[in-house]
Amino acid sequence: MDEEYDAIVLGTGLKECILSGMLSVSGKKVLHIDRNKYYGGESASITPLEELFSKFNAPAPDETYGRGRDWNVDLIPKFLMANGLLVKLLIHTGVTRYLEFKSVEGSYVYKGGKISKVPVDQKEALASDLMGMFEKRRFRNFLIYVQDFQPEDTKTWKDFDPSTNNMQGLYDKFGLDKNTQDFTGHALALYLDDNYLQQPAIQTIQRIKLYSDSLARYGKSPYLYPMYGLGELPQGFARLSAIYGGTYMLDKPIDEIVLGEGGKVVGVRSGNEIAKCKQVYCDPSYVPDRVRKKAQVIRCICLLDHPIANTKDALSTQIIIPQKQVGRHSDIYVSVVSYTHQVAAKGWFIAMVSTTVETSDPESEIKPGLDLLGPIRQKFVSVTDYFEPIDDGSQSQIFISESYDATTHFETTCLDVLKIYKRGTDEDFDFSKVKVELGEEDQ
C-alpha cells in the first residue's frame, strides 16, 4: 500500500468502479479500496439469502425459500436502458463480455388503481386501454412527431422550436390530456417529477427517443437486467480496471484522508500505512463531512412466490406509478425480477418498491406499490439518506459521487460518473483509449 498513485478510489459501488476503470484505461495508476470484504457497496447483490435476512434482523428463511446461495438480492433496484449510457459504456469498454443480460419483459404504468402496458409505438397506442379513442389518435400523432424529429433538420420540427418552447407547449400543440401527459412524462421520458413541463421540449423529446430506440434494440421493453443481479456490474468494471493495471484491496478500512497544503489531498491512511495520491474518488460514505443530505429514499424488498397480477405472468417488469395518480410529488417505482435471472431460487420473484420520501411516514407512501404485488412472503424496508457533495472537488481534489437516487434506471448514474470524470481529469472520457484488441479476447 505504501506507494504513490495518481488516483485512489474508495468504495466499490458501481459509480466508483466505472470511474476506476476509466481512470486505469486512461493510463492513470489507480489504487481501489473498499472497507467491506465484498465488491459493490450499496450496489452489491446480497448472497446467500440468509445474509439478507440477518442484515435486516429477520429470523432465518425457512426451507420453502430453496437454497440460500441461489439468491442474489439487489439492495438498490435498477434496470439498464438498452440504448442508454451504461450499455454504451459497457460495450465501449468491453466489460459487456463478462456479463449476460435478459430483456425485461414488460413496462407498465399505473392509472386509476390498475396497471396498463406502456404503449410505445403507434400500434400499441391504438390498442391501449390508457386512452379514449380520440386521445389515442392525438397520442399517435405525437409519437409520430417524436419519432420523425431530427435535431439537425428543422423541417422535422413542424413549426415548433423545441429549444425555446417548453414541453407543456408541445403537449398542448397535440392536444394531449393530463393523463397522457402523465404516462408520457413519467413512464416514457422517465422524469421523477413534473418540473420538466416548464423546460425546453427538446430534452423530453430526446428521452422519449431513447426509450423507443432502446425498445427497438431488444423488443418487449426498453430495459435490460444482468444475470446474477446488479452486483455483477461493479465487478465487471473493477476487472476492467485491474486489467489496465488497477490495484485492488478489499476489507481495508480507511482511517483518514490525508490533506496537504491548501486542503489538497495527498493520500489516504489505513492503520499505519499511507498510500500517497494526487486525487481521491469516493462515495459519500467515505467523506461524511464533505457531503450534505439532499433527500431520503425508501426501498422495500419484497420476496414473492408468484408473478404480479395483470402483467401476463411476466418474469420481469417495471411498473411506474406517476406522482399525480397517487397525489404525490415524486413517482413510485416497482421493479420485478425472478429466478430466471439467477437472483432467486426456482419459482421465486423479487419485487422492489421505491420512492423519494415526502412524509414522516415513508412506509405508508409506498402502499400503492405494495398493493399491486399480491401476497408478500417477506418484506425488508430501508430508508436511506441521499447525499450529494458540498463542493466540486477542484480545491481538495476529492471527487465525490452522489448517492443512488430512486430512479429505476442507470441514466442518472452514468451522467454523474461522466461529470465526475470530467471534473477530475479536465477532459471527456476518450473511448478510443480502450484498446480494441484487449489482449486476445477477440477472435
Cβ contact 295:386 at 8 Å: yes
Span of 235-243, 353-361, 386-394, 396-404 interacting with another protein by CB under 8 A: 235-243
- In the region spanning residues 250 to 279, those forming contacts with another protein, defined by CB under 8 A, are 250-252
Size of the site for another protein (CB under 8 A): 42
Residue 410 interacting with another protein (CB under 8 A) = no
Residue whose CB is less far from another protein, 426 or 441: 441
Residue 244 interacting with another protein (CB under 8 A) = yes
| Closest distance to another protein from the beta carbon of 126 (Å) | 30
Residue whose CB is less far from another protein, 315 or 381: 315
* Binding residue (CB under 8 A) for another protein from 21, 61, 77, 94: 94
DSSP codes of every residue in 370-417: HTTS-S-SEEEEEEEEEEEESS-STTT-EEEPPPP-S-SBSHHHHHHH
Q: What is the spatial distance between Cα 38 and Cα 13, in angstroms, rounded to a whole number?
A: 10
Q: How many CA atoms lie within 13 A of 158 on its CB side?
A: 11
Cβ contact 238:245 at 8 Å: no
CA of 20: how far to CAs of 206, 254, 321, 421, in Å?
Answer: 29, 17, 35, 10
The answer for residues whose C-beta is within 8 angstroms of residue 345's C-beta and 6 or more apart is 49, 65, 66, 67, 70, 71, 339
Residue 422 interacting with another protein (CB under 8 A) = no
Span of 84-92, 108-116, 173-181, 254-262 interacting with another protein by CB under 8 A: 84-92
Coil, strand or helix: which one is 122? helix
- In the region spanning residues 30 to 49, those forming contacts with another protein, defined by CB under 8 A, are 38-39
Cβ contact 265:4 at 8 Å: no
Residue 98 interacting with another protein (CB under 8 A) = yes
Q: Which three cell numbers stand for residue 310?
A: 395483470
* Binding residue (CB under 8 A) for another protein from 100, 172, 255, 371: 100
| Closest distance to another protein from the beta carbon of 303 (Å) | 21
| Closest distance to another protein from the beta carbon of 340 (Å) | 7
- In the region spanning residues 331 to 350, those forming contacts with another protein, defined by CB under 8 A, are 340, 342
Neighbours of 432 (CB within 10 A): 8
| Closest distance to another protein from the beta carbon of 216 (Å) | 14
Residue whose CB is less far from another protein, 80 or 370: 80
The answer for residues whose C-beta is within 8 angstroms of residue 358's C-beta and 6 or more apart is 328, 329, 330, 365
CA of 239: how far to CAs of 26, 88, 236, in Å?
Answer: 15, 17, 5
Residue whose CB is less far from another protein, 99 or 259: 99
Residue 15 interacting with another protein (CB under 8 A) = no
* Binding residue (CB under 8 A) for another protein from 51, 124, 197, 228: 228
* Binding residue (CB under 8 A) for another protein from 97, 114, 312, 346: 97
Residue 106 interacting with another protein (CB under 8 A) = no
Residue 99 interacting with another protein (CB under 8 A) = yes
The answer for residues whose C-beta is within 8 angstroms of residue 396's C-beta and 6 or more apart is 259, 263, 264, 265, 290
Residue 440 interacting with another protein (CB under 8 A) = yes
Q: What is the spatial distance between Cα 141 and Cα 135, in angstroms, rounded to a whole number?
A: 10
Residue whose CB is less far from another protein, 38 or 160: 38
Residue whose CB is less far from another protein, 159 or 442: 442
Q: What is the spatial distance between Cα 230 and Cα 309, in angstroms, rounded to a whole number?
A: 25
Tell me which residues touch another protein (CB under 8 A). Answer: 38-39, 69, 87, 90-91, 94, 96-102, 224, 226-228, 232, 235-236, 238-240, 242-245, 247-252, 340, 342, 438-443
